Amino acid sequence: MSLEVRVEHDLAGLNTLGLPCHAARFVAPSSEATLSEALSLAQQEGLAPLVLGGGSNVILPSRLSRLVIQPAMNAWRWLEQGDTPRIEVDAGVVWHELVMAMAGRGLWGIENLALIPGHCGAAPIQNIGAYGVELADVLEAVRVVSLQDGRAGWMSADECAFGYRDSLFKRELAGQFVITGLILRLSRRATPRLDYGDLAQRVSAAPTPLEVARAVCATRREKLPDPAVLGNAGSFFTNPVVPRAQADALRVSYPDMPQFPQPDGVKLAAGWLIDQCGLKGWRHGHFGVHDRQALVLVHHGGGTAAELLELAEMVARRVEQRFGVTLQREPRRIIDPG
């Protein structure tokens, strides 16, 4: 077997929350051939496979009696050039590095998604988005391999059923596939999206994709903690979408409440709701609400997943008590089957 298998592997450095966790077996296949070896190993040893990307959107238990697979395919290639080039990207490519590489080549489409942590293979699972742009806006297809029988194939963007921070991979297909690659369609035509926050004030009148990406990075760094310094999973709650009648009633009581009309209701700002409850900077044991961005829960070190989930439940309860709005957790909680 050409695949390196690590036993009782420490995952604390492989999840951005910095939660302590050991995996019974860990592999990092660099090709679909070695991925096939990993799936055979899982069957031979009776270990349920678990796919881990950059670890930026997961809550890990203290131990996983599973085979953890972290795809390490790490390249991108042109499929088509011209005004609307297409690229194929391997799952192990760091998302932010891809954004900066494309922006540096003058390509539009993903510059607003700069500095989002994680690997490209995990990006479709929650349909990553920021500053008015979602992955679904540029994604054409996803390469998947079945964890059950190893069969590989492509799924179109339509088949992925993307929604706000959502996809089929979070619902009906959860835990059934490993994503090994993406196909993205970008553009050489200037299409800046600057209508979110103060992005327009941070760039020139005719910005380049790289200028926009750098402005997004600066904005994010001002508001969000660096996971390498302070453990976090980025936005811990999704922005809730409520019925229009409920949003109108809330605006009567809270005229300054940010609201964003959606096809299925009105989206509220979860960070604003938490902040209005006076929770910014609040601590609970080894975890807390970030003092600059209330949407981010941070790990000060030494804590466990159970303690983090206690904090999240308390935050959500306070918001529901005050506003009658239910917050949904964004990071995926991994439960060990034992």
Say whether 330 is catalytic. yes
User: Active-site residue 235, yes or no?
Assistant: yes
Token pair for 58: 């997961």
Selected catalytic residue, list 165, 167, 214, 318: 165
Q: Are 45 and 320 in contact (CB under 8 A)?
A: no
* CB neighbourhood size of 118 (10 A): 22
User: 23 vs 11, 70, 232, CA distance in Å?
Assistant: 7, 12, 20
Q: Note whether 67 and 48 are within 8 A (CB).
A: yes
- Asked if residues 224 and 144 have their Cβ atoms less than 8 Å apart, the reply is no
Cα(231)–Cα(69) distance, integer angstroms:
22
Catalytically annotated residue among 25, 134, 143, 235? 235
List the catalytic residue out of 88, 307, 310, 330. Answer: 330
Residue 165 among the catalytic residues? yes
CA–CA distance, 83 with 214 (Å, rounded to integer): 23
Q: Are 182 and 198 in contact (CB under 8 A)?
A: no
Q: Report the alpha-carbon distance of residue 231 to residue 297 in Å, rounded.
A: 9
- Quickly tell me which residue has 């019925």 as its tokens: 243
Which positions are annotated as active-site residues?
Answer: 165, 235, 330
